[in-house]
């Protein structure tokens, strides 16, 4: 029985068992964060309720959960209690679910009856259906495999530049700046740090240096390894901090070693593509005013398999206020770095987000290299814990955005969304006047829409035979909304649309439109979709998921 369901969360209670000997009752079920592929943290509201987590291989398989996830749970209390609350941690907030034992028992009994009928039907159909079901499973597996094969094919088709060709181009570079790659190091496994360094050795562009800062790693072998690596190549430098200061402080220590005109940022277990610095310097030579560069990225497994490519848009300051889509690989000019300062330890966990926000504000020109230049290592150890154990990082991201609003003199508040690492800014200030120019409504329907719209300064105008243009020319409100027979679901629909147009750089705002069955009718027009002859992105898809990286 599903008791809570959202886009990225599922909570279900499956059984209730009474123990007449000790007078207790045990409720069992499962709770899953489907986006982060893990279980949801649970605790009881009352002290006389005991909650224990359980392994559930069936649920882990269905939702493709991380190996460490324990999605199952039991909650035990006295039968006489009648009801109790369980608190489920969703996006850092505890959401209560009321468990009424008598009602739950009746509901589960009815569910079991229905299940028995389904089992009988299944038996009758099994012989004819089983072969079709196996075909369905095979098709699903082929779909997953096809996605990876598609990316493998993309790599073969698009990553075709040869080192010899690059060498020839580099001979004509007017500028051949020293690029300093700064890397904070902390208790990294030897094999991954060596992979990181090897990716630098493999760079086609030769004028680089690698600056490594050990953040007082407890593992003494890290210091030994750094000494060996730096002794073997004069381009590699290392510094050893006397105390652990966190990732921002360690990165700043590495920056202090850097002598280059440009500084690139890298993690100690990731890899750069061999052409990464070549592409960066190519961009600089094409336009010397470029002082902030970022690239596309993908992930790489422990076995070196690349997957999950992230093809980013060109610089989008508004998307950046929703989440840090820039991440890796970032290179900035020394002049820009000196202007905005290094990383701020106050935002550790999201120190890169804070830096990107500050640096893009001050940059002469932000440039995007639309190629996969960075491989982000995924390690089994990195997913062992609950993602919410890193709530401090998401809170730091929120704080970085709040600091951005203050720095820019913008009146607004920041809140975290259900997908951890994403945010929404609610802008404050006097509400501009709005005229809603409506077509396709009866007088009664338009009146209902007016009553159901919660906005302080709005006038609803019915379109006559002259059409939208004529009606718009008669309006003197600050903003115009064109609405053609659509029925907003929420009273604050207009407030939300106006919120996004308060920025002077925004001229047009649209909303997600769903059909009667909950499928996407319009969520925006993209050039990619237009090339296929279908200009409306995601039309016909169910309203689920996060789009393409929250776009």
Please give the helix or strand (H or E) that residue 203 lies within, else none.
none
Question: Closest Cα partner for 398 from 335, 449, 316, 324?
Answer: 324
Tell whether the model's pLDDT for residue 131 goes beyond 90. no
Residue 536 CB neighbour total at 10 angstroms: 16
pLDDT of residue 259: 97
Residue 114: pLDDT band (50, 70, 90) is low
Tell whether the model's pLDDT for residue 447 goes beyond 50. yes
Lowest mean pLDDT among 124-128, 397-401, 514-518, 546-550: 124-128
Residue 116: pLDDT band (50, 70, 90) is low
The residues, any chain, with a CB within 8 Å of residue 409's CB and separated by 6 or more, are none
Tell whether the model's pLDDT for residue 129 goes beyond 50. no
Averaged pLDDT, 487-506 = 87
Lowest mean pLDDT among 221-235, 243-257, 432-446: 432-446
Residue 113: pLDDT band (50, 70, 90) is low
Distance CA 78, CA 289 (A): 71
Residue 81: pLDDT band (50, 70, 90) is confident
Beta strands at 179-185 and 262-265: parallel, antiparallel or unpaired: parallel
Q: At what angle do helices 351-362 and 247-257 cross, to 10 degrees?
A: 50
Averaged pLDDT, 389-409 = 91
The residues, any chain, with a CB within 8 Å of residue 105's CB and separated by 6 or more, are 16
Q: What percent of the chain has pLDDT over 70?
A: 85
Q: Give the torsion through C-alpha atoms of 233, 239, 244, 249, to 10 deg.
A: -100
Averaged pLDDT, 136-163 = 75
DSSP per-residue letters across 485-515: S---SSTTHHHHHHHHH-STT-------EE-
Residue 263 CB neighbour total at 10 angstroms: 24
pLDDT of residue 535: 64
Averaged pLDDT, 395-411 = 95
Determine the CATH number of domain 2-111.
2.60.40
Beta strands at 423-427 and 412-416: parallel, antiparallel or unpaired: antiparallel
Query: What is the sign of the dihedral through the CA atoms of 248, 250, 256 and 257?
Result: negative
Beta strands at 434-439 and 458-462: parallel, antiparallel or unpaired: parallel
Please give the helix or strand (H or E) that residue 420 lies within, else none.
none
Averaged pLDDT, 363-377 = 96
Q: At what angle do helices 351-362 and 391-408 cross, to 10 degrees?
A: 20
Per the CB < 8 A criterion, the answer to whether 535 and 546 are in contact is: no
Q: Helix (H, G, I), strand (E, B), or coil: what is residue 63?
A: coil
Please give the helix or strand (H or E) that residue 157 lies within, else none.
helix 101-158
pLDDT of residue 73: 93
Tell whether the model's pLDDT for residue 523 goes beyond 60. yes
Phi-psi region of 538 (alpha: psi -120 to 50; beta: other; left: phi over 0): left
Tell whether the model's pLDDT for residue 265 goes beyond 90. yes
Question: Closest Cα partner for 353 from 312, 313, 319?
Answer: 319
Distance CA 261, CA 172 (A): 19
DSSP per-residue letters across 312-374: PPSP-HHHHTTS----S-EEEEHHHHHHH-S--GGGTTSHHHHHHHHHHHH-S-EEEEEEEEE
pLDDT of residue 122: 47
Lowest mean pLDDT among 58-72, 140-154, 279-293, 386-400: 140-154
Lowest mean pLDDT among 80-84, 229-233, 240-244, 456-460: 80-84
Tell whether the model's pLDDT for residue 54 goes beyond 50. yes
Q: What is the homologous superfamily of the domain 173-404 according to CATH?
A: Spore Coat Polysaccharide Biosynthesis Protein SpsA; Chain A (3.90.550.10)
Question: Closest Cα partner for 498 from 468, 469, 543, 457?
Answer: 457
Distance CA 551, CA 546 (A): 7
Q: What is the pLDDT of residues 526-546, one digit of tens each?
A: 666 666 666 666 677 766 666
Q: What is the pLDDT of residues 21-42, one digit of tens each?
A: 778 899 999 999 887 788 889 9
pLDDT of residue 476: 93
Averaged pLDDT, 216-227 = 94
Which pair of tokens denotes residue 231? Answer: 């002794």
The residues, any chain, with a CB within 8 Å of residue 143's CB and separated by 6 or more, are none
Distance CA 479, CA 476 (A): 8
Q: Please provide the average confidence, as pLDDT, over all residues in the chain.
A: 86
pLDDT of residue 546: 64
Distance CA 306, CA 151 (A): 9
Residue 118: pLDDT band (50, 70, 90) is low
Phi-psi region of 327 (alpha: psi -120 to 50; beta: other; left: phi over 0): left
The residues, any chain, with a CB within 8 Å of residue 107's CB and separated by 6 or more, are 1
pLDDT of residue 406: 96
Residue 100 vs residue 367, higher pLDDT? 367
Tell whether the model's pLDDT for residue 139 goes beyond 70. no
pLDDT of residue 52: 92
pLDDT of residue 36: 79
Q: What is the pLDDT of residues 297-352, one digit of tens each?
A: 999 999 999 998 999 999 999 999 999 999 999 999 999 999 999 999 999 999 99
pLDDT of residue 544: 63
Averaged pLDDT, 378-395 = 65
Averaged pLDDT, 470-484 = 91
Q: Helix (H, G, I), strand (E, B), or coil: what is residue 129?
A: helix
């Amino acid at each position: 029985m599903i008791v809570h369901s959202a886009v990225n969360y599922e909570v279900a209670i499956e059984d209730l068992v009474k123990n007449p000997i000790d007078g207790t009752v045990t409720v069992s079920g499962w709770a899953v964060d489907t986006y982060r592929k893990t279980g949801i943290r649970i605790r009881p509201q009352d002290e006389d309720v005991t909650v224990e987590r359980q392994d559930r291989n069936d649920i882990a398989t269905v939702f493709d959960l991380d190996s460490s996830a324990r999605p199952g749970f039991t909650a035990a209390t006295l039968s006489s209690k009648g009801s109790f609350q369980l608190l489920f941690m969703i996006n850092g907030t505890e959401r209560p679910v009321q468990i009424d034992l008598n009602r739950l028992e009746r509901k589960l009994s009815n569910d079991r009856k229905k299940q028995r009928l389904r089992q009988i039907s299944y038996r009758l159909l099994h012989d004819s259906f089983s072969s079709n079901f196996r075909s369905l499973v095979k098709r699903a597996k082929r779909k997953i495999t096809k996605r990876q094969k598609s990316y493998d094919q993309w790599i073969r088709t698009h990553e075709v530049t040869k080192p010899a060709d690059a060498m020839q181009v580099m001979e004509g570079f007017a500028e051949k700046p020293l690029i300093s790659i700064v890397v904070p190091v902390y208790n990294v496994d030897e094999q991954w740090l060596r992979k990181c360094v090897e990716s630098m050795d493999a760079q086609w562009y030769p004028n680089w240096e690698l600056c490594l800062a050990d953040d007082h790693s407890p593992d003494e072998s890290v210091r030994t390894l750094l000494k060996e690596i730096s002794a073997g190549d004069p381009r590699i430098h290392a510094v050893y901090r006397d105390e652990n200061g966190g990732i921002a402080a360690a990165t700043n220590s590495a920056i202090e070693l850097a002598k280059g005109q440009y500084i690139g940022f890298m993690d100690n277990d990731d890899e750069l593509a061999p052409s990464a610095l070549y592409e960066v310097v190519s961009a600089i030579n094409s336009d010397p005013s470029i002082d902030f560069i970022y690239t596309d990225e993908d992930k790489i497994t422990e076995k070196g398999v690349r997957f999950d490519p992230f093809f980013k848009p060109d610089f989008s300051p508004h998307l950046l206020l929703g989440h840090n889509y820039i991440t890796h690989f970032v290179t900035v000019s020394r002049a820009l770095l000196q202007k905005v300062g290094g990383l701020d330890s106050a935002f550790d966990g999201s120190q890169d987000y804070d830096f990107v926000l500050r640096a893009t504000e001050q940059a002469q020109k932000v440039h995007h290299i639309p190629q996969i230049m960075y491989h982000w290592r995924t390690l089994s150890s990195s997913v062992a814990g609950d993602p919410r154990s890193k709530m401090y990082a998401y809170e730091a991201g929120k704080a970085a955005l709040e600091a951005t609003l203050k720095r820019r003199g913008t009146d607004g508040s920041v809140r975290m969304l259900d997908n951890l690492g994403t945010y929404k800014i609610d802008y404050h200030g006097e509400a501009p006047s709005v005229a809603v120019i409506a077509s396709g409504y009866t007088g009664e329907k338009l009146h209902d829409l007016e009553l159901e719209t919660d906005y302080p300064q709005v006038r609803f105008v019915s379109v006559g035979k002259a059409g939208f243009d004529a009606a718009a020319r008669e309006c003197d409100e600050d903003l115009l909304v064109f609405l053609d027979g659509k029925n907003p679901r929420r009273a604050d629909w207009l407030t939300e649309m106006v919120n996004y147009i308060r920025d002077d750089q925004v001229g047009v705002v649209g909303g997600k439109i769903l059909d009667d069955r909950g499928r996407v009718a319009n969520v925006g027009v993209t050039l990619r979709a237009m090339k296929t002859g279908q200009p409306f992105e995601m039309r016909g898809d169910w309203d689920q998921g996060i789009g393409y990286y929250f776009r």
